[in-house]
Amino acid sequence: MFAPIVKPESLSGHVEAELTNAIAQGEYQPSKKIPTEHELCSMFKVSRTVIREAIRGLNSKGIVDIKKGSGVYVSEMSIQNASETLNLFFRLSSDRGIMLHAIDSRAMIEPMIAAKSAEVRTDDHVLRLHDNMKKLIQCPLDDKIMEAELDNQFHRILLESVDNPILNLLLDPIFNLTPKFKHDVFAKSISDNMVEEKEKMLHYHQRITDAIAGQDAIKAEGLMREHLKVTSENYIKSVGR
């Protein structure tokens, strides 16, 4: 099945890549056991140390599960698992550039989601958007945790309305960055701008809600594009202080 390794460099990396490819090709199915350590040593003509390093690499990426006393099994790769991996990456990242890239990514995707939402939304989605607006208006100015949660909720309602699991996978980890964004923007002494910034957010959320309720896809798309442009500008200003 596997060709013996002829180059001594990065043996574990080679084994890891070969096993990853075999799993991707369906040679080992989710929840099924892969060959034993001894069998893999024989297949690849390498030491147990090399195999163990390769397995650790696969495990760290969530490709396999190591069950003590039982063996190594192919993970049940699901959208939830993939989303959790992305969430962990964003949560641990200290690179401020990640946040800006995340906002830019939203600017490329969310206007189209807003447009699609205007076309397919149900009455329930509209009611939830209106309820979200009421809660945002009532949210205390200095409660940025609650504001971030409500902001997330607004965008998630639009995402839910289009009912696309791949978009959920891509955007859920990015939406989870919102609290971090709120902290970075408002952690410094800019209280004089807090009212203005919230009013801007409410302005766009309300107009987007109205466009979606009126099933005006073009208007919803354009307003979301403007909204995220302002969001990006705010972040750039905040980190430059």
Window from 92-96, 141-145, 194-198 with minimum mean pLDDT: 92-96
How far is the C-alpha of 143 from the C-alpha of 198, rounded, in Å?
11
Question: pLDDT value at position 181?
Answer: 65
**CA distances from residue 168 to 32, 35, 97, 162 in whole angstroms, order as listed:** 27, 34, 22, 10
Assess contact for 237 and 189: CB atoms under 8 A: no
* 83 pLDDT tier (thresholds 50, 70, 90): low
Distance of CA 59 to the CA centre of its chain: 21
Query: Rounded to 5 degrees, what are φ and ψ at 72?
Result: -115, 130
Q: CA–CA separation, 33 vs 69, rounded Å?
A: 13
| One CATH from 2.40.110.10, 1.20.1050.10, 3.40.50.1010, 1.10.10.10 for 11-74 | 1.10.10.10
More confident residue, 91 or 61: 61
Cα–Cα distance between 52 and 70 in angstroms, integer? 15
Tens of pLDDT, residue by residue over 182-228, are 666 655 544 457 788 889 999 999 999 999 999 999 999 999 999 99
pLDDT of residue 114 exceeding 70: yes
pLDDT at 8: 45
pLDDT at position 233, please?
84
pLDDT at 196: 84
Tell me the C-alpha distance between 141 and 191, whole Å.
Answer: 10
C-alpha to C-alpha distances, 154 to 132, 159, 182, 225, nearest whole angstrom: 6, 9, 15, 15
For the chain, what is the total number of helices (H) and then of strands (E)?
11, 2
For the chain, what are the domain ranges? Answer: 11-74, 80-239
Q: Minimal CA–CA distance to 145: which of 182, 194, 104?
A: 182
Which of 10, 8, 34, 6 has the alpha carbon at shortest distance from 21?
34
pLDDT in tens, 144-184: 889 888 999 999 999 999 999 889 888 888 888 776 666 66
With a pLDDT cut of 70, the percent of the chain lying above it is 80
CATH number for the domain whose boundaries are 80-239? 1.20.120.530
Q: What is the pLDDT of residue 185?
A: 60
Residue type (1 letter), 113: I
Higher pLDDT, 115 or 142: 115
Three-class DSSP category at 64: strand
Structure tokens at 68: 């003590």
Identify residue 137 by its one-letter amino acid code. Answer: I
Q: What is the mean pLDDT of the chain?
A: 85
What is the reported pLDDT for 5?
54
Instruction: Supply the pLDDT for residue 1.
Output: 63
Residue 189 has what pLDDT? 42
Residue 109 has pLDDT above 70, yes or no: yes
- Fold identical between 11-74 and 80-239? no
Two structure tokens written together for 152: 């997330």
Bigger pLDDT: 191 vs 16? 16
